[in-house]
Amino acid sequence: MNAAAAHSREQTLAGGLAFAVHVLLLIMLVFGVSWQHKQVDNAVVVDLWRDLPAAAPPKVEPPPVAKPEPPPPAPKVEVKPPPRPEPAPKSLPKPEPVPKPDIALKEKLEKERKLKEQQEAEAKKLAAELEKKKRAEADALKKKQATETEVLKKKQAADAAAKSLAAEEQKARDALAAQQAAAAQNEIDKYMSGIRNKVKPLVRVPPGVQGNPKAEVEVEVTLLPGGDVLDVRISKSSGNAAYDAAVESAIRKAQPLVVPTGEPFQRYFRRLTMAFRPVQ
Amino acid sequence: MSVLSLITGASVPVQLVMLILLLSSLFSWYYIFLKVFTLRRADRQTAEFERQFWSGADLKDLFQRAVNARDSAGSLERIFESGFREFTKHRREPGVDVAALMDSTRRAMRATYQREMDKLESSLSFLASVGSVSPYIGLLGTVWGIMNSFRGLANVAQATLSHVAPGIAEALIATAIGLFAAIPAVLAYNRFAGDVNRLAIRFDSFTEEFSNILQRQVH
């Protein structure tokens, strides 16, 4: 066995093994770490408020106003001429043609009489029936009419109810909108007071203006979304330059200010005008 | 966020540190395996030669065999060979002093012993360096990465963990690589140093015993 050859073989073997160890470690690391990291959870920035602004529209539902029964609509019974009962079909059996005089008069007479009587009776019966039928029909018709008017009445009542309900809803909607606006205003106020409360303690009131209610400084603050102060401008000086400067630096120190996001920020907080007074 | 993205996302100095650490880790593992093979072979050869020597073989035969198989001879065999060569050379000289003869024999064996030890101990110092220094190199990368990630944080008004965490994770991987390079290197160094030490003791005792045997032959 050649020693040099053996040595070189050992060298290659050692190199290969070293490489294999590293590949193994890399695989272990890649898989081990990615297994533990299935999902990346996003960080959430949370502002803590002690009491929630009543901003969230407290009542989304329109106030459940007790629906007053719609005033009973004037029973505008359309006086529909009660449909006259159809003239009873003149289906009266025509009186039998007068029988011819016969020789057997008596018999005939007798017969005739009988027949007549019979006929009369029949006719009477028929008439009575007819009468009855007519009356029944009229009754039914009347009844029908009555129900119709009833239905009509009901419909009208429902219509009126719907109308009043719609009005009610409209009113509720208006109230809600007003409420929401109020809530939005309320929220804005909350934020404003939050900002004010954050800035106020940072204002180092110079001794000259301490407690002077007239020294009001009005500042116009330009904010970035997220509450960073871009610019502070004194729009109305308090008359004391030191106090103005103190307010301005306090606002800068207080950043990031707590501001809402999105549309309310753009509308109300992009340019913020605030007044500060050196009194509590 | 895998390890690979951490490595590729790191800043250039940190990546440089990682590269250095990776190379040193590769080399240290290479030497570890090489040393394992070398030391195992040396151990085997030493045991083999001791067995032959103490089994009462003729010294001249052993010498001849050692000279013939010089390439594959073990360290102990080489020590024996150099000592015996010196001894026979000086012995032929007329009127040689026994003490001087033994001294030169021992010196010759000593020289070979040193050479062999040097061969065995080679690259152990590299392992020691890797073991002691690579954690520091990794730490340097980590500190650099964390410095960077905090400096980036200075521009953000509201610092959250998500701003810092990736940078720190990137930075920490440098320390991880450093430790990975260092731990096996230290372990292997300690192990190999012990092995080499035990071999050295065996060589030493053999040298003494062999000297005694030669000295007896003079008389």
Cα–Cα distance for residue pair A56/B202, rounded to 1 Å: 88
Specify the fold of A104-208+215-280: 3.30.1150
Mean pLDDT confidence for B112-126: 92
Residue in B25, B158, B180 closest to A256 by CB: B158
pTM value is 0.50
pLDDT tens for each residue of B149-203:
888 777 777 777 777 777 788 888 889 889 989 999 999 999 999 999 999 999 9
For A29, residues 6+ apart whose C-beta sits below 8 A from its C-beta are B3
Mean pLDDT confidence for A143-152: 85
Domain boundaries, given as residue ranges, for chain A: 104-208+215-280
Q: ipTM more than 0.85?
A: no
Where does residue A219 rank: exposed (0-12), middle (13-18), buried (19+ CB within 10 A)? buried
Give long-range contacts, CB 8 A cutoff, 24+ apart: B21-24: B21/B134, B21/B137, B21/B138, B21/B141, B21/B174, B21/B177, B21/B178, B21/B181, B22/A22, B22/B177, B22/B181, B24/B130, B24/B134, B24/B137, B24/B181
Bigger pLDDT: B133 or A44?
B133
Residue in B27, B72, B160 closest to A45 by CB: B160
Type of residue numbered B179: L
Residue in A10, A33, A40 closest to B3 by CB: A33
Mean pLDDT of chain B: 88
Q: Residue B71: its chain A contacts at CB < 8 A?
A: 2-4
Pick from A5-14, A107-116, B28-37, B176-185: least confident: A107-116
Q: Token pair of B3, please? A: 């390890």
Chain B residue with CA closest to A15: the answer is B30
Place of tokens 């964390």: B146
CB contact under 8 A, B2 and A33: yes
Pick from A9-13, A263-267, B21-25: least confident: A263-267
How far apart are the CA of B196 and the nearest CA of chain A, in angstroms?
18
Cα–Cα distance for residue pair A152/A252, rounded to 1 Å: 73
Name which of B198, B67, B71, B46 is nearest A7 in CA terms. Answer: B71
Mean pLDDT confidence for A216-228: 82
Confidence band, pLDDT 50/70/90 cuts, at residue B69: confident
Q: Residue B157: its chain A contacts at CB < 8 A?
A: 226-228, 255-256
pLDDT surpassing 60 at residue A36? no
Cα–Cα distance for residue pair A215/A245, rounded to 1 Å: 13
Alpha-carbon dihedral A75, A80, A82, A84, rounded to 10 degrees:
180
pLDDT tens for each residue of A156-196:
888 888 888 888 888 888 888 888 888 888 888 888 888 88
For B22, residues 6+ apart whose C-beta sits below 8 A from its C-beta are A22, B177, B181
